Structure 1
């Protein structure tokens, strides 16, 4: 096992295993099929231990450097065995559970996520609280009849990815009174989505995939043991989670984008000319710059450094590279986006959101300017 902790050895062994085990997805591009394939792939990887490397033993893992998790994601998504959206939730939500949940809850729940037995979602954004997360209004109050053992939650979340498939939700609520400062009044819970009072409604999007949902909470009762951290720790949890959402979960998405660049090259290789060469070269350069930055982030995390506002750079580079790639598709494959019902069209439309999801490009640039470059608020 120790030899497998060396990244190059690990990648070679994983590739050999993938070559010997057929995880080819069905020829079905529906969201239902993607979710079924996601669970299938994780189950196979977990049973063969690949999904356990890089995670701590107390969470059901086998230990080893965190970069091993990135290698698994890159190989799986780069081969198109799983989609980057569902897979990315592992790198966003699992570290949060490990850092904030009670040890016994972590030990019970994390293996369910890593093995594909369950899907989880993230209940942060609200109709009036997107970029201004501190203004959220979903409220949790102690049940006066529970002797402090239960909370009652009311409110609404939106843009909740894969909520219709999720078994659990990491949920931010407001628990302080009127005099509590916004950042100190937020508390996180780990909520079962099948709890009475929770309603999930998928949202129709322009790219035709109902990935996002509205989630309503009407007198939802949650046990105090499901609180993540202490009352008022929700803002700190969010600030710890968001850097993962803006960095490490991109490693597999970058592999996916490289695979789509290869597909584009194959589609136009008989028609390549100087202009097409330049466009493809620019798209490749944007992706390579993003991957170099992401690699640096992976190694900083593996070295024990804490991720923070610097991950806004990763997010800006991702949005730019993804949109540039699909702009190149539109330019080099006339009609494939505008006139044909193809994967290219769906992915082009989805790429328009790359500068919005996970924090808008404008917000990320403000973070870079104020917190990294110390340029002030103006």
Structure 2
């Protein structure tokens, strides 16, 4: 099936199968809706396209997954941020877990039976991930984990966690595990953000015993795993979010005064710019290319487009964000974090300057 044929078939199916979310806009309801959408799409085989047969998929190019996520985001069937987590975590487990473990676990994520989370950031290790301090120490055929993670999306709903720990000094001393969240010693405390959603949580690990067979890769492979995870986060995941922004532009056009063409045009241009950039990233990844520091450009453009769009919405549709539209208000507040989450704008610009433009390496004296 070609990508064009796949898109047409998915649209036809979605037109005849009502997956519209209910009126409850709470985060619990959004997570329940996510499971509902994944289950329906998996049962109809759409969710299986683009994934390897070894984990219950139907093979085919990964672009089919991007198309499916775009249709889900455009129709507002599931919140794109939590929907697209599958594109970060499933490829990581496929690449690093034992084949039999991946074959057992990945279908549970694809079909909506489970949610997973990503235990990377710590109170003192956000953008500087290499400084993480959560420790794992080997004891016979288990690893005992102690430490804390923070800003862990969906942790309170998750059955599994892709967890980074420290097993030795330096980058080569970071080791990843696939941890069951019901393991004794794990405590999850949801965090309320300023947009009124308990999307994040802090997670505490107190003498948590993890079987050696749950290690992802080998000891010391954690940093490489994190670097391999990044292209998935900044390709298909961004593509889903951009699709949602485009739908928001359409909504703005319908509500705004037509005399505000310049403001509307600027918001559209920002969204179109990041879409073009993201398309090129998708093409490189689909062709088997490895993505590196250039994806920091994608991140800066996405954050810029997101904040500009919701600022424009606030200006051109007075009162909607402040008074009449709780969904839009939540999205506006969430957009304030676009220059923070996934690596701050300052860090991204430093990466662009140093690693792409070769700036800042001269003699400071």
TM score, norm. by length of structure 2: 0.97
1:26 CA drift (Å) = 0.5
Matches within 5 A, 1:211-250: 211-250=199-238
3-state DSSP of counterpart to 1:337: helix
3-state DSSP of counterpart to 2:84: helix
1:377 CA drift (Å) = 4.6
**Residues in 2 aligned to 1:337 and 1:41: alpha-carbon distance in whole angstroms:** 28
1:294 CA drift (Å) = 1.0
Runs (5+) with no aligned partner, structure 2: none
* Structure 2 residue aligned with 1:283: 267
165, 170, 173: which one aligns with 2:157: 165
**Residues in 2 aligned to 1:321 and 1:208: alpha-carbon distance in whole angstroms:** 22
Deviations 1:292-333 (A, max 9, x none): 111111111111111221111111111000000001011112
TM score, norm. by length of structure 1: 0.94
Deviations 1:161-218 (A, max 9, x none): 0111100000000001xxx3x1011000000011110000001111101101000000
Runs (5+) with no aligned partner, structure 1: none
**Residues in 1 aligned to 2:219 and 2:194: alpha-carbon distance in whole angstroms:** 38
Question: Quick check: 1:208 aligned with 2:196?
Answer: yes
Deviations 1:233-270 (A, max 9, x none): 001111111232233211111111111111112222xx
Deviations 1:66-98 (A, max 9, x none): 110000000011100111121110111111111
**Residues in 1 aligned to 2:231 and 2:9: alpha-carbon distance in whole angstroms:** 30
**Residues in 2 aligned to 1:81 and 1:377: alpha-carbon distance in whole angstroms:** 47
141, 144, 155: which one aligns with 1:152: 144
* Structure 1 residue aligned with 2:81: 85
**Residues in 1 aligned to 2:186 and 2:241: alpha-carbon distance in whole angstroms:** 31
Aligned residue pair count: 362
Pick which of 293-302 and 117-126 moved more: 293-302
Question: Quick check: 1:70 aligned with 2:66?
Answer: yes
| Conserved? CA contact 1:120–1:163, under 8 Å | yes
321, 346, 359: which one aligns with 1:375: 359
265, 271, 285: which one aligns with 2:253: 265
354, 358, 376: which one aligns with 2:338: 354
- Aligned-residue Cα RMSD (Å) equals 1.2
After superposing on structure 2, the runs of 4+ consecutive aligned residues of structure 1 that deviate more than 4 Å are: none
Deviations 1:129-162 (A, max 9, x none): 111111111000012xx2xx10000000000001
**Residues in 2 aligned to 1:239 and 1:345: alpha-carbon distance in whole angstroms:** 34
Pick which of 25-34 and 341-350 moved more: 341-350
